[in-house]
Amino acid sequence: VVPLVSVNQILLLLLVLTVCAILYNKVHQVPLALRNETVDLENPEEMEEEIPVVICAAAGRMGAAVAAISSIYSNTEANVLFYIVGLKTTIPHIRKWIENSKLKEIKFKVVEFNPVLLKGKIRQDASRPELLQPLNFVRFYLPLLIQKHEKVIYLDDDVIVQGDIQELYDTKLAPGHAAAFSDDCDLPSTHEIVRSVGMQNTYMGFLDYRKQAIRDLGISPSTCSFNPGVIVANMTEWKHQRITKQLEKWMQRNVEENLYSSTLGGGVATSPMLIVFHGKYSSINPMWHIRHLGWSPDTRYSEQFLQEAKLLHWNGRYKPWDYPSVHTDLWENWFIPDPSGKFKLTRPDS
């Protein structure tokens, strides 16, 4: 009898040990799974560096902002945060447009721009009144709109982005430079268009060299200008150099002395930047700002060249949502119709 009891006890002991071993393995597999999840969670999307992109949504051209945002969002995996700047009267419209379209997935903040900031600083220009719209000057006030970012991208609304916005964001700014722009002489492929439409790409086209204040700057009138429709800005340097105050100073001087040339439309917002940033800016890769698409309703780039471009800019009078204009098919690829029906494209058959 005793041997039988001993065998049963042994079997029972083995059974208990087996159960314990199974439980032990199960218990000790949990921390392993948790450790794996922890590794995965060390770099969640929320922890990726945000790329802040500032775009204005002006009345009458909100479709432009929507197309620009759509093109950026569709061509990158980066963690983009859109700052959409509007006036009090236009903000509800752009917000509804985004929230009721496929753009509802984007990360965005709507920021109201107060035109009071510009009081007494803009000289009226009857030749291009649209250039005096308050949102044209948002780029002067980036630090007031963007509080927590060191580096910011500003884009005009009449652009589409065909490359990965991360590349533009990675533009290197030299020490002491508050911004990077595209030189108007930087790309030989654009020179033919510049000549064909009689466009100027030097300081002479923006500043009135008959005025003593302009001559006193010591800037040669043949100096190549730059285009501030695409900006990569360093907010620390911008604030340190008091760039906004400098720009406001030249705006006020223009009101008093009429310092800007009316030869080239766009001088009202561009001219003070040309003065303040002269010799103190870095360069953007030329393919990240192919411009002048809006300067003529007839002059076109080659399709191959435009396919290689990273960013297209319809600066000029002939916008791709209006008629006539060129290369509208490239722009319409990214346009999202207005759910409210207020914004409509102007086309030959419309």
- Specify if 338 maps to a domain: no
pLDDT tens track for 158-193: 999 999 999 999 999 999 999 999 998 866 666 666
Bridge partners, residue 202, by sequence: 224
- Specify if 36 maps to a domain: no
- Specify if 268 maps to a domain: yes
Least confident of 18-22, 58-62, 211-215, 216-220: 18-22
Which tokens go with 189? 């492929």
Question: DSSP code of 90?
Answer: T
Count how many domains the chain has: 1
What confidence tier does 43 reach under pLDDT thresholds 50, 70, 90?
A: very low
Q: Which pLDDT does position 195 carry in this prediction? A: 61
Give the SS3 label for residue 115: helix
Q: How confident is the prediction for the chain on average, in pLDDT?
A: 86
Cα-to-chain-centroid distance, residue 261: 28
Least confident of 55-69, 107-121, 231-245, 259-273: 259-273
Q: Which pLDDT does position 188 carry in this prediction? A: 60
- Specify if 15 maps to a domain: no
**Within 10 Å of residue 263's Cβ, how many Cβ atoms?**
15
The answer to whether residue 1 scores a pLDDT higher than 70 is no
The region that residue 46 occupies, defined by phi over 0 for left and psi between -120 and 50 for alpha, beta otherwise, is: alpha
Q: What is the arithmetic mean of pLDDT over 202-208?
A: 90
Q: For residue 129, what is the domain's CATH number?
A: 3.90.550.10
Exposed / middle / buried, residue 50 (Cβ in 10 Å: 0-12, 13-18, 19+): middle
- SS3 for 281-298 is CEECCHHHCECCCCCCCC
Least confident of 21-30, 98-107, 284-293, 334-343: 21-30
Contact status, residue 325 vs residue 332, Cβ threshold 8 Å: no
Peptide bond into 3 cis (omega under 30): no
- Specify if 342 maps to a domain: no
What confidence tier does 13 reach under pLDDT thresholds 50, 70, 90?
A: confident
Cα-to-chain-centroid distance, residue 217: 31
The answer to whether residue 36 scores a pLDDT higher than 60 is no
Give the SS3 label for residue 312: strand
- Specify if 106 maps to a domain: yes
pLDDT tens track for 83-110: 999 999 999 999 999 999 999 999 999 9
The answer to whether residue 265 scores a pLDDT higher than 50 is no
Q: Which pLDDT does position 79 carry in this prediction? A: 98
Q: Which H or E run includes 227?
A: strand 226-234
- Specify if 89 maps to a domain: yes
DSSP secondary structure string, 3-43? HHHHHHHHHHHHHHHHHHHHHHHHHHHHHHHHHHHHHHHTS
Q: What is the pTM of this model?
A: 0.84
Please report, as a single letter, which amino acid is at residue 240: H
Sign of the CA dihedral running 318, 321, 323, 325: positive
The C-alpha atoms of residue 25 and residue 19 are separated, in whole angstroms, by 10
Q: CA dist 319 to 131, 229, 292, 324, 349, Å?
A: 14, 14, 10, 8, 17
The answer to whether residue 266 scores a pLDDT higher than 70 is no
Q: Which pLDDT does position 318 carry in this prediction? A: 94
Cα-to-chain-centroid distance, residue 239: 19
Supply the range of the domain harboring residue 222.
Answer: 51-333
- Specify if 12 maps to a domain: no
Percent of the chain residues topping a pLDDT of 90: 69
